[in-house]
Structure 1
Amino acid sequence: MDVSHSIIENIDNPHELERMFRKEPEAFKKSFLYAWEQNPDSQVLAVWHERLTFKENPNTEKASLFQKDFLSMGVLAVLAGICTRIILHFAEQQAITPINLVFGILPFMAAYFVYNNTSQKSVLYTLASLFLISGFFLNMLPLEHTDSIILAYLHLPVFLWLLLGLAFTGNEYGKGSARLAYLKFNGEFCVLYASMAISGMVLTALTMQLFRFVGMDISEFYFENVVLFGAAALAIVATYLVSRNLKLAKSIAPYIAKIFSPLVLVTLLVYLITVIWVGKNPFLDRDFLLSFNGILLSVLAVTIFSITESGTDEKRNISDHINFALIVLALIIDSVALSSIVFRLSSYGITPNRLAVLGVNILIWANLSWIMLSYLRFLQNKTGPSTIQDAVTKYLPVYGLWAAFVSFIFPLIF
């Protein structure tokens, strides 16, 4: 009964009660009921009583399996798999371009968000019309590998990704918090999808080997009908799990962000020093300029991922300084790439590729500058982390507009 008396004596000392619980949780639980019976009017003990005796409805988890979002996930996953397989069939017949495979996944992810959110009709009509127009326009383009058409193929998924963001945010598409939640969703989605995809690869390798033991090669059939179907359906399943606040993805994503940022920073520094050492020149070497832009996009993605996973912690830590250094380095790379593309435009003339690369570099340079200035003010204790997140979220529509311009206007101009 000593513990019970200690609880009663410290009934107005929450800190001591917490210390006692953490020191001997089982003894605390056993002795608590006596203290609770002696002091039934204590609000402090009432909270502790709920904390120690609270049990969720045992049928909650089972019932959740039959909720509308689970059922909609199952139906949409099957439809995504079937639709993707049909698109692949026509792509193999060279009737349509393989980039149409994105229409086997993204519209169904958007449908999941729309079905489980209460969006205004204007949002629904906008999504439906833009997806239809995108699919129609894409398949009206000639099946030629000209520069402008290839650029349309590359930029259209970016535009569709922004449309998916509209479906995710719904009526709150104008709020920075909703856009930030969408970016977080993407990070957690990638972590979870990659984890499940690795398991799928192991299963595929095992299946292939088992059939080889009996003298059968089912690789072509399996990849076209099972792997492709599974890859498309898995996107819907991962969407469902992340939307249901699966703890695995949410707990791993911040750690991945903290680990990758310093690794990318060190790798990038070593790479740039090596580039200077061997004398590579992005002004004259076209392939090197393209790789420079690829590095820039990767660094931008890692930076945004790290910012979105940093949360709303007002405290400055080493991760913030690493992110700031990464942004400054990315800005330097972008400045070099921007100078190189301007040089090539003035020296060799205008082409669709050069204009597209110029536009992307200008957009990224402006975005990185905004993020860098916001980060600088944050590190100087002038603002909170929300200003950095605003620099990321408020700029997203700009990328979408540019992607739409390249996808729909470039093929008409060039």
Structure 2
Amino acid sequence: MESKNLIMENIAKPHELERMYRKDPKAFKKSFSNAWEQNPDSQVLGVWHERLNFKETASTEKSSLLQKGFLFMGFLAILAGVSTRIIFHFVEQEAIAPINLAFGIIPFIAAYFVYNNTPKKSVIYSLVALFLISGFYLNILPLNYKDSIILAYLHLPIFLWVLVGLAFTGNEYSKGSTRLTYIKFNLEYCILYASMAVSGMILALLTMQLFSFVGLDIEEFYFSNVVLFGAAALAIVAAYLVSMNLKLAKNITPYIAKIFSPLVLVTLLVYLITVIWVGKNPFLDRNFLIAFNGILLGVLVVTIFSIIEKDSDGKKNISDYINFALIVLALIIDSVALSAIMFRLSSYGITPNRLAVLGVNILIWVNLFWIMLSYMRFLQNKTGPSTIQDAVTKYLPVYGLWAAFVIFTFPIVFN
């Protein structure tokens, strides 16, 4: 009776009813049934009744599943697996470059998003043309490993990633909020795919071990046919699951951002102090300069994911100050790297590698500086968090344009 009275007494207080429900859902449901029996005409209790008892029918779930592209996803997953296996055959024959394996997966992910979003024809035609042109161009390049060719191969995934982003955003490709959703998708996708890939590797190891017990070595066959096919198909399945608002990845990503930001900040500070202490010089040590740039990219990725997971309520917290410190440190690292690259260019001359690294460092420096200024204004209460997110999303196409520039010009200029 007391529970029923508590619900009835607070029937005009939505916040209190919600608090009671979250505190003890089971007790709330039990006492609610008594209140509902006594007051079936109450609109407030009617809403709660639907909330507590709503269940989709099997036919609704099935039609919803089909409507959201389940069968099409399965078809694309099979196509991706078959295409990847065929491309791998030609890679083994050394007829084409290994980077072509990307075309066995990425276009099919883009196709799923096009099916899901149905963009206007100009977007679809642009995607098809850019995929075909990039694939054709890369395969008319000499099959060698000159620096300019390798740079084109290394920049292809960035270019294709931007194309998938165009397919994902569809007609809203110019909207910052849609681009932000795409970045979030990437983080959730990586987490989910990695989780499933680890499970797949365990299964593969168990399978090969079981066959070894009967004297059969299936490692080469299993990798070439089952693992390769599964890895490609799984890429499409993971994209489908994330786009279906799978709660697993969405619940994990904010915690990853909050945990890794302070860890990266502490690690970076300790590393920089150690570098100064031991007297390492990126101006003279090429390998150290490469490692320096690797650290820079890592910090940029962690910072961006921390920013996109930020709440949009405009409230500042300790994570914001950690992110700001990370950005400042990254700018310092990038400034040192830029100075070292300019020194090496003036001392040892222009090479494709040095020019490419210089371009990437300039792009990242500008992006970090923009983010830093936006964060500074936010911390000074001059703007909201959307300004920081704009500094991330509006700059994304620049990376794609740079990747396209390297892919299509470096092999020709530095032939």
TM-score, normalized by length of structure 2?
A: 0.95
Does residue 82 of structure 2 align to residue 98 of structure 1?
Answer: no
- One-letter amino acid matched to 2:162: L
CA distance in 1, matches of 2:20, 2:120: 52
For 2:6 and 2:217, locate their aligned partners in 1 and report how far apart those are by CA, in whole Å.
72
Partner Cα distance (2:225, 2:23) in 1: 56
1:242 match: 242
Tell me the TM-score normalized by structure 1: 0.96
Paired residue secondary structure (1:324): helix
> What is the rounded CA distance, in whole Å, between the counterparts of 2:292 and 2:228 in structure 1?
32
Are 2:384 and 1:384 equivalent residues in the alignment? yes
Superposed CA offset, 1:272-301 (max 9, x none): 122112211111111111111111111111
- The 1:90–1:357 alpha-carbon spacing in structure 2 relative to 1, beyond 3 Å, is same
| Unmatched runs of 5 consecutive residues or more in structure 1 | none
Rounded to whole Å, the distance in 1 between the matches of 2:263 and 2:135 is 39
CA distance in 1, matches of 2:137, 2:20: 67
What RMSD in Å do the two structures reach over aligned CA positions?
Answer: 1.7
Question: Where does residue 180 of structure 2 map in the other structure?
Answer: 180
Structure 2 spans left out of the alignment, 5+ residues:
none
Q: Does 1:252 align with 2:252?
A: yes
Letter in 1 for 2:113: F
In 1, the alpha carbon distance for the partners of 2:20 and 2:227 equals 54
Partners of 2:132 and 2:199 in 1: CA distance: 34
Q: How far did 1:20 drift? A: 4.4
CA distance in 2, matches of 1:136, 1:79: 20
Change (3 A) 1:333 1:36: same
Summarize the alignment of residues 352-391 of structure 1 with structure 2, pairs less than 5 Å apart. 352-391=352-391
2:86 corresponds to 1:79: no
Corresponding residue for 1:327? 327
2:404 alignment partner in structure 1: 404
Percent identity between the two aligned chains: 79
CA contact (8 A) 1:64 1:70 kept: no
Q: Tell me how far 1:379 sits from its aligned partner.
A: 1.5
Change (3 A) 1:333 1:23: closer
Aligned 1:199-238 pairs, distance under 5 A: 199-238=199-238
Shift of 1:11: 2.6
Q: Is the 8 A contact 1:316 1:379 kept in 2?
A: yes
Contact 1:188 1:242 in 2 (8 A): yes
| CA-CA distance at 1:302 after TM superposition | 1.3
Q: CA distance change for structure 1 residues 38 and 209 in 2, over 3 Å: closer, same or farther?
A: closer
1:314-353 matches, cutoff 5 A? 314-353=314-353
Displacement after TM superposition at 1:19 (Å): 4.5
Distance 2:312 2:409 in 1: 39
The answer to whether structure 1 residue 109 and structure 2 residue 142 are counterparts is: no
Question: How many residues are aligned here?
Answer: 414
Q: Deviation above 6 Å: which 4+ runs of structure 1? A: none
Letter in 2 for 1:75: F
Q: Distance in 2 between matches of 1:135 and 1:319?
A: 42
Seen in structure 2, the aligned counterparts of structure 1 residues 52 and 291 have a Cα distance that, compared at 3 Å, is same
Give 2:163's aligned residue: 163
Q: Which amino acid is the alignment partner of residue 43 of structure 1?
A: Q
The whole-number CA distance in structure 2 between the counterparts of 1:398 and 1:321 is 27
Secondary structure of the 1:409 match is helix
The within-5 A match list for 1:227-306 is 227-306=227-306
The corresponding residue for 2:57 is 57
Which amino acid in structure 2 is aligned with residue 402 of structure 1? Answer: W
